[in-house]
């Protein structure tokens, strides 16, 4: 058979088969197979399950490195616990996870979260949780009303990246928040956050106790003060001193620091500021867009901010609410200690110290209106505890948290030859104030020491605290010694 005849026969055979539906069937099968493959791709695959890492402030869970969504299981227990508000002062906190603020939760955009809320059997109240990161009724509060000894579970999908507050929303809502029921949840964007060297968790809250700042003992909640928005304490991370001394944040020169900042409220707006630093970036209200070169950022009650800055020179950097009496008189004060090599081009330190103009002869006085009655110390240990609170309230702003003073401005109390040489003279300075030049540890100081309106008991307490810290000579100062020293004081 000729090649041309064979070709025609094959074509005709193919047409016949097509007309009989055989080739059509084969084509359809192929089409079905392609459709099935596409359909298989469209079927949602089960997400991998991971347990959420939860941390207590100021620690933060590690950044998320996975490039896909996951089913994240969060287990959070509510406990009602007595903890320290300040030295000598206790408070019954209601907590998410045993601390204030509550555990830091870190997830990724488009994660599917299975949230377990447990209320410890010893709790006296039912609780729930409203996570501002949740899209749904009450942010989860409608699904998590949990009686003591019970557990509730709900699920949500993390649709929006950002830093969000969570809090209890059980009535009376303000009281639950005011007792410490708040924390932060970070929803990282799919691409993750830019890498930094250090991340910390800092959250402000205002507390309302029957006693004024520093009043000792177990303090109950005061609803009238809360309604009047007149807190006894405004603090970072749940207590006075939570971010100072041994608890201070740390970094090294050259490192970039990211602070996840929240404000539990329930009432006050925070003017968050780090003294001696400028925020290179602020993700305002915890959102996705950064603004740059910011000195102080407002953090609303129930809101957040993410701040970033590079530590350029060593030193102690003070975290404050710049509504400044809150920092130095109500506790909203923390510390970042930066270690490393100095850069004199960025910050020289003091170059010149000289008298510009003689100061006036009038010693300033601190106002005394409304000063609370001093607690009576029954032992030296109690006197030390009360004195520590008084020092933080009255002396720390000038003489610094560890008594180091400020060179050229305020003399050191640590290893102070002036103090240790004559304790009665030092008592007189606290009671009557000081005007004129003195020498401390070989350095001249000529600033004004205001006259503090403290009782004999309070002066005895704060002097005992100072004498027993920072390598001073120790001992106990009594109210009787204070009275005699005041009467005999001469500068």
The pLDDT of residue 362 is: 52
Those residues with Cβ within 8 angstroms of residue 300's Cβ, 6 or more apart along the chain or in another chain: 263, 269, 270, 285
The per-residue pLDDT for range 372-409, each reduced to its tens digit, is 555 688 899 999 988 888 888 788 878 888 888 877 67
Cis, bond preceding 58 (omega within 30 deg of 0): yes
The pLDDT of residue 378 is: 85
> CA-to-CA distance for 172 and 215, rounded, in angstroms?
26
- Residue 150, annotated ligand binder? no
- Residue 335, annotated ligand binder? no
Query: How large is the C-alpha radius of gyration of the chain?
Result: 32
Residue-range domain boundaries for the chain: 46-362, 380-488
What Å distances lie between residue 467 and 246, 374, 425, 461, 471, CA to CA? 20, 20, 13, 10, 8
The pLDDT of residue 44 is: 57
Do the domains 46-362 and 380-488 sit in the same CATH topology, yes or no? no
- Residue 168, annotated ligand binder? yes
Q: What is the DSSP code string of 156-209?
A: EE--S-EEEEEE--SSSHHHHHHTT-EEEEEEE-TT-PPP-SEEEEEEEEEE-B
What Å distances lie between residue 122 and 5, 148, 149, 198, CA to CA? 96, 7, 8, 37
- Residue 273, annotated ligand binder? no
In this prediction the pTM is 0.73
The pLDDT of residue 30 is: 47
> CA-to-CA distance for 401 and 392, rounded, in angstroms?
7
H/E stretch holding 303 reads strand 303-310
- Residue 132, annotated ligand binder? yes
Provide the residue-wise pLDDT of the chain in tens; the chain has 491 residues: 444 444 444 334 443 433 444 334 444 444 544 544 444 455 557 899 999 999 999 999 999 999 999 999 999 999 999 999 998 999 999 999 999 999 999 999 999 999 999 999 999 999 999 999 999 999 999 999 999 999 999 999 999 999 999 999 999 999 999 999 999 999 999 999 999 999 999 999 999 999 999 899 999 999 999 999 999 999 999 999 999 989 999 999 999 999 999 999 999 999 999 999 999 999 999 999 999 999 999 999 999 999 999 999 999 999 999 999 999 899 999 999 999 999 999 999 878 766 666 555 455 555 544 445 556 888 999 999 888 888 887 888 788 888 888 776 788 999 999 999 999 999 988 888 887 778 999 888 876 777 777 899 999 999 999 999 999 999 999 999 999 988 887 65
Three-class DSSP labels, 377-425: CCCHHHHHHHHHHHHHHHCHHHHCCCCCCECCCECCCCCCHHHHHCHHH
The pLDDT of residue 436 is: 75
Fold held by 380-488: Cytochrome Bc1 Complex; Chain D, domain 2 (1.10.760)
The pLDDT of residue 408 is: 66
Superfamily of domain 46-362: Cupredoxins -  blue copper proteins (2.60.40.420)
């Amino acid at each position: 058979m000729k090649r041309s005849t064979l070709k025609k026969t094959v074509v005709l055979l193919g047409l016949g088969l097509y007309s009989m539906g055989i080739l059509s069937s084969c084509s359809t099968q192929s089409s079905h197979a392609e459709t099935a493959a596409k359909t298989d791709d469209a079927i949602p695959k089960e997400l991998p399950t991971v347990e959420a890492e939860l941390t207590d402030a100021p620690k933060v869970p590690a950044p998320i490195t996975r490039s896909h969504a996951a089913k994240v299981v969060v287990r959070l227990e509510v406990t009602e616990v007595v903890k320290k508000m300040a030295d000598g002062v206790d408070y019954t906190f209601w907590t998410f996870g045993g601390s204030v603020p509550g555990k830091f939760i870190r997830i990724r955009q488009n994660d599917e979260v299975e949230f377990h809320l447990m209320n410890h059997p010893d709790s006296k109240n039912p609780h729930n949780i409203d996570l501002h990161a949740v899209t749904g009724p009450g942010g989860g509060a409608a699904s998590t009303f949990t009686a003591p000894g019970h557990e509730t579970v709900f699920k949500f999908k993390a649709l929006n990246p950002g830093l969000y507050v969570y809090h209890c929303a059980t009535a009376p809502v303000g009281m639950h928040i005011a007792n410490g029921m708040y924390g932060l949840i970070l929803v990282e964007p799919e691409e993750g956050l830019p890498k930094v060297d250090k991340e910390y968790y800092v959250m402000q809250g205002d507390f309302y106790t029957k006693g004024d700042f520093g009043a000792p003992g177990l303090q109950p909640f005061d609803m009238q003060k809360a309604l009047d928005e007149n807190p006894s304490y405004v603090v970072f991370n749940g207590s006075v001193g939570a971010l100072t001394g041994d608890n201070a944040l740390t970094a090294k020169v050259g490192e970039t620091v990211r602070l996840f900042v929240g404000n539990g409220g329930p009432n006050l707006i925070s003017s968050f500021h780090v003294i001696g630093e400028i925020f290179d970036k602020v993700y305002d209200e915890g959102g996705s867009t950064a603004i740059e070169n910011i000195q102080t950022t407002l953090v609303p009650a129930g809101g957040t901010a993410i701040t970033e800055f590079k530590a350029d020179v060593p030193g102690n950097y003070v975290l404050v609410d710049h509504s400044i009496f809150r920092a130095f008189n109500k506790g909203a004060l923390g510390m970042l200690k930066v270690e490393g090599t100095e850069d004199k081009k960025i910050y020289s330190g003091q170059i010149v110290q000289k008298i510009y103009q003689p100061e006036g002869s009038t010693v300033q006085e601190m106002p005394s209106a409304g000063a609370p009655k001093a607690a009576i110390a029954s032992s030296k240990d109690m006197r030390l505890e009360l004195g520590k609170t008084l020092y933080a309230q009255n002396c720390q702003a000038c003489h610094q948290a560890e008594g180091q003073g400020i060179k050229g401005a305020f003399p050191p109390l640590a290893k102070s030859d002036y103090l240790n040489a004559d304790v009665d003279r030092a008592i007189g300075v606290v009671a009557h104030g000081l005007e004129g030049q003195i020498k401390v540890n070989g350095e001249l100081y000529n600033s004004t020491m205001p006259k503090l309106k403290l009782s004999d008991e309070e002066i005895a307490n704060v002097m005992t605290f100072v004498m027993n810290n920072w390598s001073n000579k120790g001992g106990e100062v009594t109210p009787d010694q204070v009275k005699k020293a005041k009467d005999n004081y001469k500068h």
